[in-house]
Each structure stands twice: as C-alpha cells, then as structure tokens.
Amino acid sequence: MKNMKLKLARVEKDLSQEELAKIVGVSRQTIGLIESGKYNPSLSLCINICKALSRTLNDLFWEEEEK
Amino acid sequence: MNLFKRTKKTTDERIENVGNKIYREMYHVIMAICLISFVVKMYKYGAGIEEVVLELVILIGGGVYFLARSIFLGVFWDEVEMHDRTSKTSMSMKTIFSSIGLAFIIAVVMGINSAVSYADSSSQGLWYFTLVSFVSVIIYLPILLLLFGGIYLLAKKVSMRNQEDDKEL
C-alpha cells in the first residue's frame, strides 16, 4: 500500500526524495520504495524519517483501520 | 585537509537486506555446484573418498556451521517453538521418529548390500540381510538418537539460558 502520508510530509517540508535520503542516511531508491509501499522499513529507520520530517510515527506510519 | 578525517559510515538497511538475500542465494549456488561436482566425480572416479573430500568438507562444514550458529543464537529453538505451535506432532517426537526411520533405512541398505555382495544362495542372502540389518539397527539407532537428541537438548539448554539472560533486563 502506498504511503501518501510520507510523501505529503516530505513535499510539505520541500524536500526531494534524494534530500530526505541524504538526511536519513539511506539511498534515494529506499525512500522511493517506502513511499510506494514496496519496502517495509525497520523501526529505527521510521524514527529517523519522522525526526527528519518533524512528524511522529503515528503521523506517517499508522494506518487507520477501515470500518 | 579532511583527507584523514573519519567520516561516519552510513548504511542503508534495504541494501544490507538485499545483500543478505543475495548471500543466501549464493550459498545455495555453491552447495549446488559442490553437489554436482560430488556426483560427477563419484561417477567418473568411482566411490573413492579421496577425490571428493573437498566437496564433502564444504557440504558438511557449511551445514554444521549453520546448525551450530542457529543453535547458539537461539534461532533453532525458536523454529522448534514455531513448529510446535502449529503442528500436531511435536518436534521432539519427530526427532525420535526421524532417528528411528533413518536407522532403519541405513540398516536396510546395509542388509541389501551384504546380501547382494556376499551371499551365494537366496536363503543365505535372506539370513545375511536379517543379520546385518539387525546388527545395523543395534549400532545406528543409539548413535542417531544420541546425535539428534543431543542437538535437540543442546538447543533447548541454550535457549533456556538466553531466556534467563532476557529476564535480567
């Protein structure tokens, strides 16, 4: 499932995938794959992304259950 | 000059994960090559052990290393726990059954081998088969039970020790 919350938060911060990747310390493709839902990041990487985008884990990675 | 300044090495976990996946596949490729080499050499040079000793060391050594590491890291016992959660027959029973099964297979193979190679008549062949099979079971069953059971109990002991360490945290 695509992670639109992450993509929106990154765009709001005016960061490209490459810039965010540099801050977090991963490759651009990894950020791209997380946004497209093709890679499940570890908790520590999620936390680093949240810190870089000034968001919480809930904001970026919590999926509301569909009722 | 920042030439000699140590920079913090950053690692991408996805690259590491994919790298580990490739290593796993590479292990299978190496094992397959060794197995093919083993079979080809056996076919070409006969059943001599000298020609295939390197292949055997790689095949058995790799397996033993994997087993030892998985036991001492506790993964072996975790797998047993996961298995027992879903399977009707527990891993301990399967270990006993597989030891008995393997001992009987070895006994039958050795019995057939001695009957075919050394017997002169069919009644003598039957007698040789029964005798050698019986003696083989007597020899191999305790050895295999001790080996498989020992591995099982060692894994359990290591896991219990790890659990004690976890409780202290």
Q: Using one digit for the tens of pLDDT, what is the confidence trace for B58-105? A: 999 999 999 999 998 888 888 888 999 989 889 999 999 999 999 999
Give the domain range for residue B21. 13-72
Cβ-count burial B4-13 (b if 16+ within 10 Å, e if not): eeeeeeeebe
> Distance from A39 to chain B by nearest Cα, in Å?
8
CA distances from B16 to A26, A27, B75, B105, B167 (A): 11, 11, 20, 43, 30
Domain count across chain B:
2
ipTM score over 0.85, yes or no = no
- Asked if the model's pLDDT at residue B43 lies above 70, the reply is yes
| Nearest one of B48, B55, B50 to B32, comparing CA atoms | B55
Mutate to test the interface with B, among A17, A23, A27, A33 (most CBs of B within 10 A): A27
Query: Using a CB-CB distance cutoff of 8 angstroms, which residues of chain A are in contact with residue B15?
Result: 27, 30
- B64 with B89, same domain: the answer is no
**pLDDT, position B35:** 93
B23 or A67, higher pLDDT: B23
Residue B119 maps to a domain: yes
Please give the class, per CATH, of domain A4-59. Answer: mainly alpha
Say whether residue B14 is in contact with chain A using an 8 A CB cutoff.
yes
> Distance from B17 to chain A by nearest Cα, in Å?
11
**What backbone torsions phi and psi does residue B12 show, to the nearest 5 degrees?**
-95, 120
First to last CA, chain B: 45
A50-62 residue pLDDT tens = 999 999 999 999 9
